[in-house]
Structure 1
Amino acid sequence: MQRTLCIATFVRMDEPQSPQDPKDPKDPEVRSLDARSLRGLAHPLRMQLLRALRQGGPATASQLAAKLGESSGATSYHLRQLAAHGFVEDAPEHGKGRERWWKTVHRGVQFDDALYEDRSPEVRGAAALYMHEIANHHTRELATWIGTRDNWSEEWNRSSDMSDWTLNLTPELALELINKMHALVGSYRALAPDDGTPGTEQVRVHTHVIPTHKD
């Protein structure tokens, strides 16, 4: 069964990246979702919280609430649910007094297409919600970039990209293309400069390979 890698959405940015291939199912930093963990993650706010921790580093429920426009009660509850399913854990090294800090456990997650065919309607529904939320987030990121590009330097405007292509491929060739794109993007982790290097910014990369019917 083909697996859809969602690591680009959930890359942990608060510590050095593993040089291991991001598609490698043996990578301990990449968690494969099963029916139980998918049900624990497939909630819009939980996915936003996990994404915020991966991209922004450890934070408290109050900090995340302010960032996401939610109540601290809601973020606290959903962080505990994420912890119960093994997606986040305490970060006591960041805490002061009674503050509870959270961090992510894995660098990314991997979604198995077999979840779409699970016997349980609840699991199939969670799979659909999960993938729709990822698609919605990609759309929001693109819209945010378009709306704020004047705030970025000319160099970053020249170095951004929004492109699409139409190809005639067999399923085998499409999968080959996906694997090559993932390998290419993953290879740039080894080239990433230190956080303190001037001009370095966090960069988001989206890839979509989808079949469409000809008009």
Structure 2
Amino acid sequence: MTEHPEQPTPPARQSRRLDARSLRGLAHPLRMQIFELLNLDGPSTATRLAERLGENTGTVSWHLRHLAEHGFIEEETGRGTKRERWWRRVPVANRLDTSDFRDDADTRGALSLYLHELVQQYFNRVTSYLGEEWENEWRDVGTVSDWSHLRLTAAQLQSLNEEFAAVIARHTPAPDAEPDPDALPIVVQIQSFPRRSRNAR
């Protein structure tokens, strides 16, 4: 299974494949929350992030430095003061291939935690959207759908995922494109996976 953690905005021009060290550096519930906020809402400070997350500023600062050490975020130079540093996501798309860690017992726990937290983030985004008030033009165009009657081979499932990615790429504006004033940030979440049949034999 291949996971594509959050893509930076604007679209990344570079990508990196996460190794065991970088995976362990990210696989922590609070660090993943911090990383998500910087990814979705842009640069911030430890103080601002701590307020949003209900955490101690010192704790958030420690995790920010940890994320920076592993190359996920960087300080935004020329902004802030010595006492209040601004942090932003490094504009690199992170790619995680779970098969890289299939036989690595030392990384199995970090991988399990990361995937659990990632799915929880996806769930939280949907529930937040459903609990918010939106104008009809936006409420009517969002979707929470599933299709559970497909029967595909592994190669066909891979092809389906590649087609999904190609569609998203066609709708992703160029980094230097002028944003439409009526456009809002959009989150697209896709989960496609095989399911073992539970039919009695």
TM-score by length of 1: 0.84
Instruction: Find the aligned partners of 1:133 and 1:59 in 2 and give their Cα distance.
Output: 22
Report the alpha carbon displacement of residue 70 of structure 1 after superposing the two structures with TM. 1.2
Secondary structure at 2:55 match in 1: coil
Which residue does 2:25 correspond to in 1?
Answer: 40
1:21 paired residue number? none
Deviation at 1:47? 0.9
Larger deviation: 139-148 or 33-42?
139-148
Extract unaligned runs of 5+ from structure 1: 19-26
1:1-215 map, 5 Å: 4-7=2-5, 10-13=6-9, 16-18=10-12, 27-28=13-14, 30-96=15-81, 98-119=83-104, 121-148=105-132, 151-166=133-148, 167-190=150-173, 194-195=178-179, 197-215=180-198
Whether the 8 Å CA contact 1:12–1:53 is kept in 2: the answer is no
Q: Offset of 1:97 from its aligned partner?
A: 5.3
Give, in whole Å, the separation in 1 of the partners of 2:124 and 2:92: 22
Which amino acid is the alignment partner of residue 113 of structure 2?
Answer: L
Quote the offset at 1:116 in angstroms: 3.6
CA deviation after TM superposition for structure 1 residue 156, in Å: 0.3
1:166-189 deviation per Cα after TM superposition (whole angstroms, max 9, x unaligned): 200000000000011011112211
Q: What is the alpha-carbon root mean square deviation over aligned residues? A: 1.9
* Cα distance change on mapping 1:97 and 1:213 into 2, 3 Å: closer
Q: TM-score, normalised by structure 2?
A: 0.90
Query: Quick check: 2:46–2:84 contact (8 Å CA) kept in 1?
Result: no
Deviation at 1:152, TM superposition (A): 0.9
Unaligned runs of 5+ in 2: none
Does the aligned pair in 2 maintain the 1:31–1:106 contact within 8 Å?
Answer: no
Aligned AA (2:36): R
How far is 1:191 from its partner?
A: 7.1
SS at match of 2:189: coil
How far apart, in 2, do the equivalents of 1:59 and 1:214 lie? 46
Number of aligned positions between the proteins: 196
Which has a greater percent of strand? 2
